[in-house]
Structure 1
Amino acid sequence: MRVVFMGTPAFAVPSLTALAREHEVALVVTRPDAVRSRGKRLEPSPVKEAALELGLPVLETARMTPEALEALRDAAADIFCVAAYGCILPDAVLTMAPLGCVNVHASLLPRWRGAAPIQRAILAGDEVAGVSIMRIGHGVDTGAYCAQASTPVGEKGADELTRDLAELGGALLARTLPTIAAGSAVWTEQDEALVTHAAKIAKAELWLDPEADAPANARRVRASSDAAPARCQVGGRAVRAVRARAVESGEGAPLPAQGTYAVAGKRVLLGCAAGALELIEVKPDGKRQMGAAAWAAGLRDKQGTWGPLS
């Protein structure tokens, strides 16, 4: 099958590579080089890097200009496949290919429509997450879907779960395209009564807070990222929690009271509304990532108060 692929971040790369193995990728469309790290240098998107390694033609564009539309028409694709491209597609694109335009969405629709389905699934304590192959329409992730696959969330953080779902989505996309071409794919309209929305994560949502219970704070740590880190202040020092776990027992010592912390041996415990959050890996402001015990060795007091950033 002749395919145009549109995608930008690392999540989209497994979909591109899976398509390239089993189908003819006529064109790869991705967003232009941008500043993607602290180096302040222009860097290619992960999809562009993967496409060039595969020897595939690449079109870089942030919007569907007349030139971009002409390139899409010239590709003469049977279907357009999208995975986190980051650009709203006009009707001219949605109807250009004979088999239409399908998207790899990182949720089990109709749950978690929107920009941050993976983080929202973690924050909500979902036991499973998944991917859906869906038609692209005018609404945000409102189209019918024809295939889904799931994986347990467990204790996975956002990065690990994103990688798992990316691989799952790529395999599902490549496997599903022949059924779409054959007309045997079964399309399911989304039940509006079951819809939940995955709004973009605001940084303050992931700040740790003694008013929340320990499991909720642990989920914030797992859902965090460089763009929205799980931060708090401990003994007056701002710090990012990179890895943490909820504990219900001090394992021989009493848990600290809500809003207080205790350094007990090599353990750093933050008292929550219920239980405590044990910090395992942290990143102090302006410093490298380190074990929580090593960081706590620099605290003036081994007991004190902690809370959200002011």
Structure 2
Amino acid sequence: MRIIFMGSPAFAVPSLNALVEAGHEVVAAYCQPPRPAGRGKTERKTAVHERAEQLGIEVRAPRTLRDDEEQARFRGLDADLAVVAAYGLILPKPILEAPKAGCINVHASLLPRWRGAAPIQRAILGGDEISGVTLMRMDEGLDTGPMLARQTLDIRHKNAGQVSEELANLGARMLVDWLDNPTPAKPQPIAGATYASKIGKGEARIDWSKPAEEVERQVRAFDPVPGAWFEVGGERIKLLEAAVGSDASGTPGEVLDECLSVACGRGYIRPLKVQRAGRGAMTPGELLRGFPIPKGTILP
């Protein structure tokens, strides 16, 4: 089958690999353009861009798919199908209709829950115990198309990086299985639809007035990026891993002991792994040896 692959981050790479390994002809890979990243602000290619080049697949990275010339180039590939996985651009109607069999999407949630840009983080923040992958036929709505397959994954106690990797591999298997044995599409149910909006910059800052369970979910949802953080002494400290404690008598934000336990609106957080700017991950004990945060300190 002649397939156009459309994806950008590491989540999409297993699906691209699976298509190639299954013997499909991937005629082009569409991904987000390289963008400045890191301290040097050098342009960095997406994970799909790099992998497609390794596989000898033509890479296209347009900034928009809305102009006539780009749509004509897309049609010129004469594809049987387009496969989309975390691409990052809205597909206009002419693109959706160009492949003979349309476009299908590997989406990292159990639709209709968590339609949109950040389903993994929103599922963890929302306290979901189960997530999964939905394979869907795309339409002009935002993740509203009919479903082709769904599989679940237990996401309890996992961070976003772990969930993303597991869902990426699950989605890749589902994709090639469905291509080998297509099943009819089923409309998404109307009930239970939620929207997974993009993660705002301010959401990663820890609010100690929230219950400890919510703070712990925030830590997992933003690990590895952007990293949940708090500020002390004018320095930003990332909290990479934490446990929840149920009994605390301090004011929210108060450091309770020499292990850097912090009181929350209900319960407390016991950090397990932290990180200073420009340093590697470390235990709270390692942090406190070089960066004292005395008991009784109130973290903002």
Q: TM-score if structure 2 supplies the norm length? A: 0.91
Contact 2:29 2:57 (C-alpha < 8 Å) held by counterparts? yes
Counterpart of 2:198 in structure 1 is: 200
The CA deviation at 1:236 is: 6.7
The CA deviation at 1:288 is: 4.1
Contact 1:235 1:304 (C-alpha < 8 Å) held by counterparts? no
Inter-CA distance 202–32: structure 2 relative to 1 (3 Å threshold): closer
How many residues are paired up? 297
Contact 1:30 1:62 (C-alpha < 8 Å) held by counterparts? no
Inter-CA distance 148–262: structure 2 relative to 1 (3 Å threshold): same
Inter-CA distance 56–297: structure 2 relative to 1 (3 Å threshold): same
Q: How does 1:270-281 map to 2 (within 5 A)?
A: 270-281=262-273
Q: Quick check: 1:59 aligned with 2:60?
A: yes
Contact 1:201 1:228 (C-alpha < 8 Å) held by counterparts? no
The CA deviation at 1:198 is: 0.8
Inter-CA distance 21–190: structure 2 relative to 1 (3 Å threshold): same
Q: How does 1:208-287 map to 2 (within 5 A)?
A: 208-225=206-223, 228-234=226-232, 238-248=236-246, 255=248, 257-259=250-252, 260-264=254-258, 267-285=259-277, 287=279
SS at match of 1:68: helix
Inter-CA distance 236–43: structure 2 relative to 1 (3 Å threshold): closer
Contact 2:255 2:299 (C-alpha < 8 Å) held by counterparts? no
Tell me which amino acid in the other structure corresponds to 1:257: G
Q: How does 1:1-310 map to 2 (within 5 A)?
A: 1-22=1-22, 23-64=24-65, 65-180=67-182, 185-225=183-223, 228-234=226-232, 238-248=236-246, 255=248, 257-259=250-252, 260-264=254-258, 267-285=259-277, 287-300=279-292, 302-308=294-300
* C-alpha separation in 2, matches of 1:302 and 1:33: 44
The CA deviation at 1:158 is: 0.9
* C-alpha separation in 1, matches of 2:88 and 2:235: 37
The CA deviation at 1:290 is: 2.3
109-118 vs 267-276, greater mean Cα deviation: 267-276
Q: TM-score if structure 1 supplies the norm length? A: 0.89
The CA deviation at 1:96 is: 1.0
Inter-CA distance 195–3: structure 2 relative to 1 (3 Å threshold): same
Percent identity between matched residues is: 38
Please, which runs of 5 or more residues in structure 2 have no aligned partner? none
* C-alpha separation in 2, matches of 1:229 and 1:42: 22
Contact 2:161 2:224 (C-alpha < 8 Å) held by counterparts? no
Inter-CA distance 237–80: structure 2 relative to 1 (3 Å threshold): closer
Tell me which amino acid in the other structure corresponds to 1:166: A
* C-alpha separation in 1, matches of 2:195 and 2:218: 18
Contact 2:31 2:48 (C-alpha < 8 Å) held by counterparts? yes
Contact 1:232 1:306 (C-alpha < 8 Å) held by counterparts? no
Contact 1:256 1:270 (C-alpha < 8 Å) held by counterparts? no
Contact 1:107 1:129 (C-alpha < 8 Å) held by counterparts? yes
* C-alpha separation in 2, matches of 1:106 and 1:3: 21
* C-alpha separation in 2, matches of 1:2 and 1:237: 52
Tell me which amino acid in the other structure corresponds to 1:17: N
